[in-house]
Chains A and B, each alone.
Chain A
Amino acid sequence: MPHRHDPCCQAVVLAGASGSRLHPLNSGGTPKVLLPVANRPLLSFPLRTLEEAGVAEVLVLCEGDAAASAVQHWLAGYSGALAVEAVRVTEGSSPVEALRGVRDRLRAPHVVLLSGDVVTEVPLQAQLLTHRLRGAAVTPLLARRRESAAAETKPGQAPKNVDYVGLTADDGLAFYLHSPDRARQLRIPQRVVDRVPSLTLRTDLTDMHVYVFQTEALRAVLAARQDLHSLEESIAWRCAAFLAPEGAYCCRANSLQAYAEVNRDVLAGAHAASLLREAPNAKYENFVHSSVQMGSKAAVGAGCMIGEDVVLGDKSTVKRSVIGPNCRIGAGAKIINSVLMADVTVEDGAHVHGSILCNRAGVGAGASLRDCQVSPEFRVGEGADLRGEVPAGGMNFYNTGGRPATFDPFDDPRGFRKRPKSIFVRHSGKLSGLAVLFLTATVIYLHSHRRTLHSHLAAKDYQLNAIVEEKEAISRTLREKDHKVSVKTVESEHLRRTIERLQEEVSTQSTRALEATRLAEETTRASAAKIKALEERLQADTARYTSQTVEAHMARHHHRLSMLETAMGHERREGEEEPQEDPFAKLP
């Protein structure tokens, strides 16, 4: 897709770093930017980003003649739409001096400055647009960190290797500080506080080393300040910060770990489409070149890339690795999480795990490599078992199992050796020191208290004997008790039988009692009947008697009445003036 060239933009790619942190990958004379990532040079990724943004001219600044010529040689075969030129910069110069050198060649109103090891899928065009819309002097690309800086530090301690980014409310960059060590305090200049009404400090952003400058401003600063400067000191300018969108992949391959990670991440399905411009094999999700010869039962997992003319032996396994062109993988070999550059030979049965093997390296049969970086043209001997080492050395140095490899100090002047170590190895010094301390402490304690310890022992022996005797006594008493218990059980049996007998007697007695009561009841009933008969007779008698007396009474009354009546008849005839007396009142 042809991109319209944006005449207002030029690009400068800083490819000058010698990559000392990537030792020994660059010990074969390859500059860092030409190291293969997914079987293409690292430099091709920033170039593709620039091409998509429509930048017309690109200057690649390389440090030293060797690097410059290597890059030029590669650029001769570059077929992109950019006008790329490799510019030689004196060795050992900082990025600022290199920029100063090419200052005169910057003609466009905006210049993009990026590091040669940036692999990103963030569209540079959006960053350019933001830069121009905001009218900023510089717009850096800030990406979100993958894991928080504080994840590996103890609570209460400041984290290491953190970028402190101060953003204003409308996404302007007001403050920036990169602190590789623990920063106990952060000094924010007064002019920053005066200028911005509100400032948000973030530690979850990292500087991706992709900057868009206004050329005028850049040139003015370079001319004005002859001393070294870095981005932090340019905050007097108007800086707009461009935050990478969520989920966009951004990484710099500037350390061994980052290099290996970039190799793997670029092959992941989500990013492959935008970063590689190639679609993975839909069924297996890996990139296998058509000229690869796969042995029987050779397995290539997802997220792998295999270059051209690679021969995979029978039953070999490749998982999440990148294998460069013309490699030979022997039968039964296992390559996991590794990066193999061109012309590497891995013989039968070798295990390569988490390692990086440079050009023309070799691994002998049955060798096992874990977390190693093998320098170019070095051959690891058969049966070697290397963990976390950097087998290095000159050409034709063969190492068989058992002999240690020599280490050339000039290959690693800074002493950087960023190898992933397990937690015990990382803290092994501390752990061993602690262990030694603990042991000496116990020894001293024991020595000073040895007499008391002896007496303690004797006392303990005596106690032990006493306890044993007690134990025997107790067992005896237990036996006696058992005997008693048995006797008691016999007695109880006896008692139970007597109880049963008594119960039988009681039952017979009770039946007899029942009969007796029944008889008694009958007799009482009979006597009650008799009594009733007698009572009736008595009642009849009394009734008769009472009726007789009443009749007698009545007869007497009648008699008296008749007598009275005759008397009254007499008295009436005698005297009728006399008041009538109640004759009955005289009666009782």
Chain B
Amino acid sequence: LFAHLPRHHEVDVAGVVARGTAAALPLPAIQLGLTLAQGSLRGANARCIAMLDVFRQVVLEFRSAGGREFARELNPLLNSVISFLVFCRPLSVSMGAAIKHVKAAVEKLKLEPSAKERLLGVISSFVQEKILFAGDHLAGEAAKRIQSDDVVLTYGYSSVVAAVLLRAAAAGTPFAVVVADARPLLEGRRMLRALLAARVPAQYVALNGLSFVLPRVTKVLLGAGAVLSNGAVLARAGSAAVAMAASAAHVPVLVAAETYKFHERVQLDSITHNELGDPDLLVEMPGGEKAWLEGWREQEGLGLLSLMYDTMPAQFVSMVITEVGAIPPTSVPVILREQRADGNMA
């Protein structure tokens, strides 16, 4: 069923060297690739910012013959960096959007002499406007929607959701948070730590305990990896279950996403576009319990599936909060159309 998705493979220094292109790649790119492959860097915003940082360093160290040849020489280098990052871990939608933006800028700048500085400006403005400022504005908007005595349910860790909740806490609104979490990534613990550091009352529950907490929950706030054209939201595996359970309990589901995460494709299920994670993470049991799946590779007919993302259909999402406002999921194509128009104009 998932044979169309690229298999997960281990990436380490020896593998990178064996691939043969290690000499041509700048060191920051190799470093980022290894970090991504090991899973120490996760999350749409974090990965995108790190990749753009690598691009910035690549452009800084790039020495070309002349301004005219800039694009022709830079493009192969960028492509090699991108293909290496893809080799380490498939790109996320946010990274794809950033790459598209940067490549369009490179194309436009190829006839100018001071191309390097302008390109660096483009990259940094993308980070500043589309990610950081957007996130900040979004946090302010969404924090207003958290009222007193709200019980907010969230799943896993999302930098945007964390920003929203911390902003609401800083504004003084008394509210409580329930953090749902699931193996193997257990990202909810990171959210819990952040909330407890800000002295927000938080409860930690496993995903299968959702039905116990839902009666007390007033709204659900989720982060997104991408928002698709038909209103479906791509998020960490498990979020769709949270959204479905919440909508069945008539609890509003709010998704916080910047507009750069919007994508034109239409996705109806979690199978067509997804990412396979490390299956060995499923084998390790926390708390020192015995790993029952230990020899799973030798077992015939047994395969471990670890999906990174899942898709929640638009019917489960009440509202998508972006930096341009709160929109219903059916209005996503409008935002996309506007973005396209902006891209054509600029």
Contact = CB atoms under 8 A, between A and B. Distances in A.
Contact of A133 (B13, B14, B18, B24): B13
Contacts of B24: 4
Given A123-B17, A125-B17, A126-B13, A133 B31 contact: yes
Contacts of A572: none
Contact of B17 (A3, A4, A6, A126): A126
Contacts of B34: 133
Determine the main DSSP class of B at the interface with A.
helix
Interface string A382-426: 000000000000000000000000000000000000000000000
Nearest to A242: B13
Given A126-B13, A126-B14, A132 B23 contact: no
Contacts, number: 28
Contacts of B30: 129, 133
A3 B13 contact: no
A6 B13 contact: no
Interface residues on A, range: 10 to 19
A125 B22 CA distance: 9
B16, B17, B24, B34 interface centre (most CB from chain A within 10 Å): B17
Interface in A39-56: 54
Contact of A6 (B14, B23, B31): B23
B266 interface: no
A4 B13 CA distance: 19
A132 B22 contact: no
B27 interface: yes
Contacts of A125: 17, 22-23
A510 to B, nearest CB: 86
A4, A6, A123 interface centre (most CB from chain B within 10 Å): A123
Contact of B27 (A54, A123, A126, A133): A133
Contacts of A123: 14, 17-18
B71 to A, nearest CB: 22
A125 B30 CA distance: 13
A417 B55 CA distance: 60
A130 interface: yes
Contacts of A245: 14
A165 to B, nearest CB: 19
Contacts of B22: 125, 129
A344 B343 CA distance: 79
B88 to A, nearest CB: 13
A4 B24 CA distance: 8
Nearest to B25: A129
Interface string A1-37: 0011010000000000000000000000000000000
A6 B23 CA distance: 7
A6 B14 CA distance: 18
Interface in B262-306: none
A130 B30 CA distance: 10
Interface of B: 13-14, 16-18, 22-24, 27, 30-31, 34
Given A6-B23, A125-B23, A129-B22, 6 more contacts: A3-B23, A4-B24, A129-B17, A133-B30, A133-B31, A133-B34
22 contacts: A4-B23, A4-B24, A6-B23, A54-B23, A123-B14, A123-B17, A125-B17, A125-B22, A125-B23, A126-B13, A126-B14, A126-B16, A126-B17, A129-B13, A129-B17, A129-B22, A129-B30, A130-B13, A132-B27, A133-B13, A133-B27, A133-B31
Q: Which 6 A-B pairs have the closest CB atoms?
A: A126-B17, A125-B17, A4-B23, A130-B13, A126-B14, A126-B13
